[in-house]
Structure 1
């Protein structure tokens, strides 16, 4: 999701939903956005089977922050 967000930001389309609907390009932001959104939906469906929506969103937010922090600290 982070890579997709970065690609979409670089393409000037920061909203992942809009980016997923953008025309195809050689930089791959559309494909990255679609893959990220598909994976998010799969996670959400599985998560909602075991817990409530608030906890699912908290898990996604925590994972996103952790991945962002790791990416920043990586050379």
Structure 2
């Protein structure tokens, strides 16, 4: 990682994962990611996508909070959502 670029702790990857999982869960009629993650497995894979996205979010949060603090982590996610062109959900 170049020294002049600030670390994003995987915010971009986390947002892409969360967005993809949200789309799959919405299509399955399960808009809440936690509910979707607890749903029975299906061929569409929304449960697996939701679990993976939530796991990734927890890893991002843990690494970021320990190093950068809550406000900086929120800003990193907001920026990643803007770059991805999607609206940030109120909660992961």
TM-score normalised by structure 2 residue count: 0.69
Answer 1 or 2: higher relative contact order, Cα 8 Å, separation at least 6: 2
- Please identify, of 6-15 and 59-68, the stretch whose mean Cα deviation from structure 2 is larger: 59-68
> Is it true that 1:29 corresponds to 2:55 in the alignment?
no
> Is it true that 1:60 corresponds to 2:83 in the alignment?
no
Deviations 1:4-37 (A, max 9, x none): 0100010111111111111111100000000001
Displacement, 1:64? Answer: 2.2
Q: Which runs of 5+ in 1 are unaligned?
A: 70-75
Q: How many aligned residue pairs are there? A: 69
Describe how 1:1-75 pairs up with structure 2 within 5 A. 1-68=18-85
In 2: Cα distance, 1:38 partner to 1:64 partner: 18
**What is the aligned-residue RMSD (CA, Å)?**
1.3
Displacement, 1:68? Answer: 3.2
Which has the larger share of helix?
1
